[in-house]
Amino acid sequence: MSKKDIKLLITGAIALFLACFLGIITIVLFAFKLGNKAMEYDWKGAFGNVTEQVQSLGD
């Protein structure tokens, strides 16, 4: 293996490490954002509508 190949290999290894590191950060950031959105969402209202619809179907 030449020196050039070893340099390339090291570059690849660093890129792989960074990809894993940044990938984890990305997943955490998405989880936070989506979690916030879920907290802000009007679940009661949405399920209230569904309950009303089901009740009207029963009547």
Among 5, 40, 42, 59, binds other proteins (CB under 8 A): 5
Among 3, 19, 38, 51, binds other proteins (CB under 8 A): 19
- Smallest distance from other proteins to CB 13, Å: 8
State the number of binding residues for other proteins (CB under 8 A): 16
- CA distance linking residue 44 with residue 11, whole number of Å: 52
The answer to whether 30 contacts other proteins (rule: CB under 8 A) is: yes
Who contacts 9 (Cβ-Cβ below 8 Å, separation ≥6)? 1
- CA distance linking residue 34 with residue 54, whole number of Å: 29
